[in-house]
Structure 1
Amino acid sequence: MSWAVESTGALDGAHGSAPGSWPPAVPTSHGLITRIDRLLGGFVEIVAAALVLADIVVLLAGVVARFVFHQPLVWSDELASMLFIWLAMLGAVIALRRGEHMRMTAAVTRMGPQRRAVFEALAQCASIAFLALTIWPAWEYASEERFITTSALEISNAWRAAALPTGIMLMLAFAAMRLLRETSLGSVTKAALITAIILGGFWMGASVFEDLGRWNLLIFFVGVGAGCVFSGIPIAFAFGLASLGYLSLGTTTGLSVIIGRMDEGMSHLILLAVPLFVFLGLLIEMTGMAKAMVNFLAGMLGHVKGGLSYVLVGAMYLVSGISGSKAADMAAIAPALFPEMKKRGADEGDLVALLSATGAQTETVPPSLVLITIGSVTGVSIAALFTGGLLPAVVLGAMLCGVVWKRSRGEQLGNVEKLCWSKIAGLAAYALPALALPFVIRAAVVEGIATATEVSTIGIAYAVIAGLTFYRQFDWKRLLPMLVSTASLSGAILLIIGTATAMAWGLTQSGFSSSLASAMGGLPGGAAMFMVVSMVAFIFLGAVLEGIPAVVLFGPLLFPIARQLGIHEVHYSMVVILSMGLGLFAPPLGVGYYSACAIGRVNPDKGIRPMLGYMLALLIGTALVAAVPWLSIGFL
């Protein structure tokens, strides 16, 4: 199985699609459609890049005004939120145009060329159908918002809400252009016919669904949702189609509610940290800060058996504390270490397995996007999550190092030079500004200088200054592509959060959440059994849904149960995140594993066997974190 993930090209600011991305990248034909696509696409990219910059400036100005001049800007958060929803929607447009929306292609990739072409076209037709069906509800929603005036800026809220219909129309236009330009007429015809038959069948059976009650949850959220996901339809649109079908056919709720829930899910101010930390991750790679940290660690440990593997574990821990994007973390570390590790005779399958395992290990290291998402949907303190996530990752890192020690006992290091302490001190001095950045970020949150959202702007300013003055590596030509890549990745993530929020709202309104609470709360064994069941459930959810949509869907349902059973919410958060990390990075299902393989340029088949030992170590570490709450809450 493979998913569309942010490719190494996207990470360094270049255009590109990872294996399994949607729609598939094929040669572009000439003509009017191509010219329109390029002109309109270029305009959208420039606007989205400007929005990323504008949000950084607005939030940083708010921090400076409040902390330095003691004169808070009462309008800064409101303006940032307004810009953010536009950034989210335009980012989703760019992700669709560039083929960076996540999808599962396990079944599609095993098909023959003709059938696969039909399913690729079907993925586009289904997405077009969702967008077409939501244009009018989005317009209605935006029209209703014109009667609301914002409290600080005192302007109509329609200026903010207009982002939703605008983004949907642009996505519809780009999806249609790509379908017409890059898909054969036969495949388009078959896919359009299949889509029309399925939609028509559901519409004709509307009266039947009205009498099915909660069975509609199974039909739409399991049947339609899972069917769309496994058919290769991008996960955001699969969630959207399931929610749209349930609310329109199984309830009397107006469809504008879907848009409202999408707006609510995507525009939470805490989530503004997503694009800003993604951009910060690109900055530390571009300015050479990540390379400086890796070189220092390699200088200290490179001469011991398994030394560079230990460096990989430590470097991923440090970089994860800065970037917030797991693919950005791996793309910053792997190119700096893999060539030398291969020279020393390391098996490339073991390398990519360890890289993937460290991705799972560092999921709780702040400012993880999953931590931020949990805080936004469950109300858990972001500062507490940032503090609680440090030690669990150390525990899992120690487990991985144990496996490294066992596997590297026979490594030959006859040609490896041991650096003298003076050279190590020089590397440490050069890496010091980079090593200080994670501590600057965490201290700013803990000391109350900035919120979890605002602190990313401090990190960005720090990285820019360090890159310009100390490391003297700052490629201005890469800035625009990096901003566009930030918008694209953020839009893909936020659209999933939006449609998953609509789905979660439907589950809640149906009474499913109360039934689930009763069932989970009544498990024999109390809190211990609930924790075990949660671990198993989130390992599976991490594999099939990826972390963020799984948290948005099930976090609001399960966290209240954990509180009722006396489980500390930060402790439960760590167990949930680590369990999802296991599923996310474990072959043969986990998307993170394939992302690691793409970044390391290694065939996925080579890493599966070496991965088993690392996964066992991570599972033992996760069980230890679950059994010992102090590891998560001891420093709160």
Structure 2
Amino acid sequence: MITNILLLTLVVFAMLVVMIVIKVPISFALGIATLGGVVLVSNLPLMVIAQRMFVGLDSFTLLAIPLFMLTGQIMAMGGVTRDLMNLSMVFVGWMRGGLAYVNIVASMIFAGITGTASSDTASLGGILIPTMIERKFDKDFTVAVTATSSTIGIMIPPSIPMVLYAIASGTSIGQLFLGGVVPGIIVGFGLMSVSAVISKKRNYPAEKRYPFKESVKICVRSLPALGTVVIIIGGIISGFFTPTEAAGVACFYTTMLGLFYYKELKVKQIPNLIYQGAMTVGLVALMIASASALGWFFTSQGVPRAIANGLMAATQSKVIILLLINAVLLFVGCWMDLAPAVTLFTPILLPVAVAVGVDPVHFGIIMVVNLAIGLFTPPVGVCLFISCGIAKIAITDVLKAFIPFFLVMMIILMLITFVPQISLFLPSLLMRN
């Protein structure tokens, strides 16, 4: 039985890999792999594929995703992004290589509002990359800082991949959001430590230190923008909002900020923002639906149980099993978009992790950090491609600059993997019930 399951798994995954290699869109590749698997298992009707795709999207919580995306777009258009960068400039811009620190700190703040990495790269990178290049920062370093710091966007809440993981695993979204705070901050400080060493070595410039009165003025002006973070995180943790409700309120709040506080967002721009968001969400939804169908197929055939039993029979070492899971997720992150990766591999790998005593919240953070690293690694690194496009530099010219950042991220990943309290401290403290 296990041999048949493993053979079926290998055949279906081989189909998926072939589809990806020949550049079939990922949503269609997942659908074709599901179809192939259902055909191979003769007792399943084909109509089950459409049914499972529908079920995969039949979730109120999923509505948070388009609302968080729209919030990020409104922020970028409404002038909020600029204020967040000015706030970061007050606190860290005066240090050597200050713009690199600003890039990272702004990403950490921006992460608390949008929940995505690509919007972080596009919004902050669109402003900071040209500025850093103008201030004589090397292009490869500028791209590396921007792409790697953008990944914090899916660690610090709200996080769209965490929403997807919560739906796939039945884990509390509030606990996941809290679990990502400390790892996200650690990643931020890790990236800043790399930037500090490189900035000193290359003698990158510091920015001017703002006078005290101007610093206070910038901080006060930024308070309404930071209110979005309070609405999202505070509302969810306190139980006042569900994640979807928090996303809706945050979307409305940032719209009001853009229209009446910053006065840079125009009413006539809103329909176009909604249209652009709908186009993006349509693509993401199709990927989620296809991945959900394939994940259900594997679960129905007992693949997670077979993998767990096989690994437990081969080794009882929790360390080895977690290292293998990390290796799988790192590889997947290099080749697959976040949404389908989380939706597909959560039902497959979570039972294995739980079998060796890993808390589901802790495993969710491990998965997100692994896939975050994939966002700046070829061949599908979205943040890498966006940053290179803004800087107008070839990917092959920047890969060397990523090495120190990659190494630090790997060290942090190992810490998060083998020190569970990094992820579980805040959830256990603030959401004991």
- Give the TM-score normalised by structure 1: 0.64
What whole-Å deviation, never above 9, does each CA across 1:182-208 have from its counterpart, x for those lacking one?
Answer: xxxxxxxxxxxxxxxxxxxxxxxxxxx
From 298, 316, 327, the counterpart of 1:536: 327
1: CA distance, partners of 2:116 / 2:391: 16
2:22 match: 231
User: How far did residue 215 of structure 1 move?
Assistant: 7.1
Is 1:473 aligned to residue 264 of structure 2? yes
Is 1:247 aligned to residue 38 of structure 2? yes
2: CA distance, partners of 1:468 / 1:295: 20
2:172 match: 381
Which residue identity lines up with residue 357 of structure 2 in the other structure?
G
Q: Paired residues, what number?
A: 425
1: CA distance, partners of 2:287 / 2:295: 12
Partner SS for 1:366: coil
Comparing 243-252 with 311-320, which one deviates more in the overlay? 243-252
Kept in 2: contact 1:277–1:456 (CA 8 A): yes
1:564 match: 355
Q: Using a 3 Å threshold, how does the CA distance of structure 1 residues 521 and 364 change in structure 2: closer, same or farther?
A: farther
Which residue identity lines up with residue 447 of structure 1 in the other structure?
S
Structure with greater helix percent: 2
What whole-Å deviation, never above 9, does each CA across 1:409-447 have from its counterpart, x for those lacking one?
Answer: 145577843221111111111111112211221011011
1:512-551 equivalent positions in 2, closer than 5 A: 512-551=303-342
1: CA distance, partners of 2:201 / 2:303: 55
2: CA distance, partners of 1:344 / 1:607: 18
1:215-614 equivalent positions in 2, closer than 5 A: 217-218=8-9, 220-410=11-201, 412=203, 416-614=207-405
User: How far did residue 350 of structure 1 move?
Assistant: 0.9
Kept in 2: contact 1:370–1:577 (CA 8 A): yes
Kept in 2: contact 1:330–1:599 (CA 8 A): no
User: How far did residue 589 of structure 1 move?
Assistant: 4.7
What whole-Å deviation, never above 9, does each CA across 1:377-435 have from its counterpart, x for those lacking one?
Answer: 00010000011111001111111111101001145577843221111111111111112
What whole-Å deviation, never above 9, does each CA across 1:525-573 have from its counterpart, x for those lacking one?
Answer: 5322222111111000111122221221121122223223221111111
Q: Using a 3 Å threshold, how does the CA distance of structure 1 residues 494 and 603 change in structure 2: closer, same or farther?
A: same
2: CA distance, partners of 1:232 / 1:286: 33
Which residue identity lines up with residue 237 of structure 1 in the other structure?
F
Which residue identity lines up with residue 594 of structure 1 in the other structure?
F
User: How far did residue 605 of structure 1 move?
Assistant: 2.1
Partner SS for 1:409: helix
User: How far did residue 279 of structure 1 move?
Assistant: 0.4
Larger radius of gyration: 1
Q: Using a 3 Å threshold, how does the CA distance of structure 1 residues 514 and 422 change in structure 2: closer, same or farther?
A: same
1:179-194 equivalent positions in 2, closer than 5 A: none
Which residue identity lines up with residue 110 of structure 2 in the other structure?
V
User: How far did residue 213 of structure 1 move?
Assistant: 5.4
Kept in 1: contact 2:259–2:266 (CA 8 A): no
2: CA distance, partners of 1:412 / 1:418: 18
Kept in 2: contact 1:303–1:418 (CA 8 A): yes
Greater relative contact order (Cα < 8 A, sep 6+): 2
Comparing 358-367 with 281-290, which one deviates more in the overlay? 358-367
Which residue identity lines up with residue 392 of structure 1 in the other structure?
P
Which residue identity lines up with residue 224 of structure 1 in the other structure?
M
Q: Using a 3 Å threshold, how does the CA distance of structure 1 residues 332 and 488 change in structure 2: closer, same or farther?
A: same
User: How far did residue 463 of structure 1 move?
Assistant: 0.8
2:431 match: none
Q: Using a 3 Å threshold, how does the CA distance of structure 1 residues 576 and 585 change in structure 2: closer, same or farther?
A: same
1: CA distance, partners of 2:202 / 2:4: 63
2: CA distance, partners of 1:634 / 1:249: 45
2:406 match: 615
1:137 match: none
Q: Using a 3 Å threshold, how does the CA distance of structure 1 residues 299 and 517 change in structure 2: closer, same or farther?
A: same
2: CA distance, partners of 1:218 / 1:414: 54
Which residue identity lines up with residue 283 of structure 1 in the other structure?
I
Kept in 2: contact 1:541–1:547 (CA 8 A): no
Q: Using a 3 Å threshold, how does the CA distance of structure 1 residues 533 and 415 change in structure 2: closer, same or farther?
A: closer
Kept in 2: contact 1:313–1:358 (CA 8 A): yes
2: CA distance, partners of 1:357 / 1:288: 24
Which residue identity lines up with residue 428 of structure 1 in the other structure?
C
Kept in 1: contact 2:187–2:412 (CA 8 A): yes
**Unaligned stretches of 5+ in structure 1?**
1-211
Which residue identity lines up with residue 383 of structure 1 in the other structure?
G
User: How far did residue 214 of structure 1 move?
Assistant: 4.3
2:430 match: none
User: How far did residue 591 of structure 1 move?
Assistant: 3.4
What whole-Å deviation, never above 9, does each CA across 1:121-166 have from its counterpart, x for those lacking one?
Answer: xxxxxxxxxxxxxxxxxxxxxxxxxxxxxxxxxxxxxxxxxxxxxx
**Unaligned stretches of 5+ in structure 2?**
428-433
User: How far did residue 243 of structure 1 move?
Assistant: 1.1
